[in-house]
Amino acid sequence: MEDVFDTTGRPPKGWMHAIFHGGPYGEDVGRCIPGPPAPATLAVPLADGGVHTYRLWTVGSWSDPDDPIAVYNPDGPPVPPSLLTDQEKEWLREGQQKKGLGPLKLVALAPDGRLACDPDASTIEAMLAGLRHREHMLLQRLTDHDEGDWYLQVLFDEDDTYEVVHQAGTAAEREGTRSASLAAVRDAVLRWAADQPSWRTVLEGPTTGDES
């Protein structure tokens, strides 16, 4: 990200004020970021290597509603992997065809950016078991005939529960549930990947205790 600071009382056009709690920008005053809208995450290279990721916590204003201020915190809301765009889906399909493989039905996206095409059960189980607190895994179904996005998203939260969010088509058809059982979540995810309608019933049991 560019080093852009506000020295006039207003950020440059196309930029907005930001406050950073901790990290390499923690002491900066007047730093600006692209926006609005403020990016959900900001990756800042560290001098000794690696990247520090800020997460958007909230957007507010000291006094002027036309001068919004984004507040970033390393402990902000967890950010799931981005769904594949239509163009990315097409690239994957073309890659499958060039390899002489059949139509691509499902992709799995891991927190570290890894992508698995038509993952088998062991791959999905490994991704799920490898989740750390505040990390997501995402299964996205690739379809040509259905409107909207079809996906199952799992967040391993800080209280050791799993939040499972499902969308079938449009955002209006999104639903979520929570479970403390890794075994139940694993079973539900594998059933959803296999396109079994019974995946929902697995998560309708008790929400406490881990039977992994």
Residue-wise pLDDT tens digits, 3-32: 776 656 778 889 999 988 888 888 887 888
Spatial contact of 78 and 155, defined as CB atoms under 8 Å apart: yes
> What are residue 118's phi and psi, to 5 degrees?
40, 60
Same-domain pairing of 43 and 121: no
Copy the structure tokens of residue 90: 């097409």
Same-domain pairing of 90 and 40: no
pLDDT at 174: 83
**Domain contains 2:** no
Pairing of strands 149-156, 32-34: unpaired
Same-domain pairing of 100 and 66: no
Work out how many domains the chain is built from and give that number: 2
H or E element: which one contains 32?
strand 32-34
The pLDDT tens digits of the residues spanning 27-43 come to 887 888 999 999 988 88
Domain that holds residue 62: 15-73
pLDDT tops 90 at residue 147: no
**Domain contains 166:** yes
* Neighbour order of strands in the sheet with 149-156: 115-117, 106-109, 135-141, 149-156, 162-169, 174-179
pLDDT tops 70 at residue 72: yes
Greatest Cα-to-Cα distance within the chain, rounded to the nearest angstrom: 60
Same-domain pairing of 53 and 126: no
Same-domain pairing of 63 and 118: no
Same-domain pairing of 162 and 61: no
Q: Which of 44, 73, 102 is the last residue of a domain?
A: 73
